[in-house]
Amino acid sequence: MGRVTVPGEGGALEGGPGQVPAEELRAAVATMMAAHWREGGHTVPNGTVYPWQWLWDSCFHALIWAELGDGDRAVAELANFLAVQDELGFVPHMTYHGDPSARADFWGRPGTSSITQPPVYGHAVAELVRRGIAVPDEVVERAVDGLRFLFDHRARTPNGLVTVVHPWETGCDDSPRWDGWCPGGYERARFRAVKGELLTTVVRAEGGAPLANPAFAVASAGFNALVAWNALELVGLTGDDGLRASADELTQVLDGYWDADLMTWIDDGPHDSGRVRTADALLATLVRPRPEAFAALADPAGLGGPFGAAGTDRREPPYDPDAYWRGPVWPQLTYLLQRAAAAAGDPVAEALADGLRAGAAASGLAEYWHPDTAVAGGAVPQSWTGLALLV
Ligand code: GLC
């Protein structure tokens, strides 16, 4: 078990599954979050690797601030990225606070990116309210509008799943599920070039909102599950029957994408890589808590392990436990899967919670880590790994 220090903290965290000292973990997360907080009201995922605001990261940060007892920062974090929502409801996935010219040429617009990310703001808003934090009406309304944009304006597959216009929209940037789009097989630098290219074929509304991408006509099971679940989280607050109907309808379509042999939900799209067994596909358990899917998450030969859910099933050829999005544990996915299992009363919830805490501590709150050793990968420390306090 590695022994790590969170910068600025001076202390070390040690622990194996089930034995992480809660107070030390909380102190390390609080120190990191304070260091990553930026005036104006948002938290950067990491000060050097990720110095801007990202949509789904900020949703997780809001939850962490709420857990740390700072409702004001929790609300500011959400209000801040929702403030750049456009007239159709589209929410950009990145905001370049303080330097609107940053990457403006790349995105074709100043200040923000021109694609979105999983709408975890539905869950974040609902969870803040459940915790007794006053969320302004405007934030709730913007969250609803963000979901409505995806239901009403985003292109669907013929069967009715919501498409993404780019791999980055799923948050799972280099998932083996996109390998079909990387000619000659996945290679990180080559796929980076592909991702740049894929931005050029996005079809946009007059105001710039991303509507479709004929070159990436894919509906990720995980993304669709997050759309449906986040809508239902908001419905729990607002009682909005229209939003409930949209979410229920989408969930029913998603049912058709369960593959009982592979024990995963598969994507709708032109390539077989959409069948690779990955952790994010099992996010569908948030809306359809299947015991077989939880069993797949518990299986140590598949996605299970001592430090949370492996990002890719160990039996899949692309599985690589050290490579970005190819196999490591992602804490934000483990958090969401843990919520699904806990809500369903499935015992894997406990293993996921223990694994998340242990991996967070042993990796020094890393962005992601090796599923069997918790050796850190990516940015260290990374704000969303504070989610370990919430399970
Ligand atoms: C990486 C991740 C993405 C995340 C971003 C900031 O690009 O793939 O999901 O939002 O980093 O943490």
Cα torsion angle, 313, 284, 210, 235, sign = negative
Atom number, ligand 1, closest to the C-alpha of residue 383: 12
pLDDT of residue 20: 75
Nearest to 333 by CA among 292, 367, 299: 367
Nearest to 153 by CA among 229, 82, 84, 208: 208
Helix and strand totals (H; E) in the chain: 12, 12
* Dihedral pair phi/psi, residue 187, rounded to 5°: -150, 135
Measure 262 CA to ligand 1 centroid, in angstroms.
Answer: 27
Type and span of the H or E element at 376: strand 376-377
If you write DSSP's letter for every residue of 326-340 in order, what string do you get?
Answer: TSSB-HHHHHHHHHH
Atom number, ligand 1, closest to the C-alpha of residue 173: 8
CA distance 192 to 203: 20
* Mutate-to-test residue for ligand 1 from 54, 81, 121, highest number of ligand atoms within 8 A of CB: 54
Measure 54 CA to ligand 1 centroid, in angstroms.
Answer: 7
* Mutate-to-test residue for ligand 1 from 59, 173, 278, highest number of ligand atoms within 8 A of CB: 173
368 phi-psi bin (left φ>0, alpha ψ -120 to 50, beta other): beta
Nearest to 52 by CA among 106, 119, 105, 112: 112
173 lines ligand 1 (CB under 6 A): yes
Query: Any idea which residue has 């998450």 for tokens?
Result: 297
pLDDT of residue 154: 98
Is-contact 377 324, C-beta < 8 A? yes
Measure 242 CA to ligand 1 centroid, in angstroms.
Answer: 31
Letter for the amino acid at 281?
A: A
CA distance 5 to 60: 22
Nearest to 383 by CA among 336, 331, 338: 331
168 lines ligand 1 (CB under 6 A): no
* Dihedral pair phi/psi, residue 102, rounded to 5°: -60, 125
* Dihedral pair phi/psi, residue 139, rounded to 5°: -65, -40
pLDDT of residue 15: 52
CA distance 75 to 79: 6
Going residue by residue through the chain, which has 391 residues, state the pLDDT in tens, using 9 for 90 and above. 333 455 444 344 555 555 678 999 999 999 999 999 999 899 999 999 999 999 999 999 999 999 999 999 999 999 999 999 999 999 999 999 999 999 999 999 999 999 999 999 999 999 999 999 999 999 999 999 999 999 999 999 999 999 999 999 999 999 999 999 999 999 999 999 999 999 999 999 999 999 999 999 999 999 999 999 999 999 999 999 999 999 999 999 999 999 999 999 999 999 999 999 999 999 999 999 999 999 999 999 999 999 999 999 999 999 999 999 999 999 999 999 999 999 999 999 999 999 999 999 999 999 999 999 999 999 999 999 999 999 9
45 lines ligand 1 (CB under 6 A): yes
The CATH T-level fold of domain 4-367+381-390 is: Glycosyltransferase (1.50.10)
Measure 261 CA to ligand 1 centroid, in angstroms.
Answer: 31
Atom number, ligand 1, closest to the C-alpha of residue 117: 10
Is-contact 221 254, C-beta < 8 A? yes
191 lines ligand 1 (CB under 6 A): no
171 lines ligand 1 (CB under 6 A): yes
169 lines ligand 1 (CB under 6 A): no
User: Looking at the chain, how many residues does it have?
Assistant: 391
Q: Where are the domains of the chain?
A: 4-367+381-390
Atom number, ligand 1, closest to the C-alpha of residue 56: 10
If you write DSSP's letter for every residue of 257-290 in order, what string do you get?
Answer: TEETTTTEE--BSSSGGGGS-BGGGGGGGGTS--
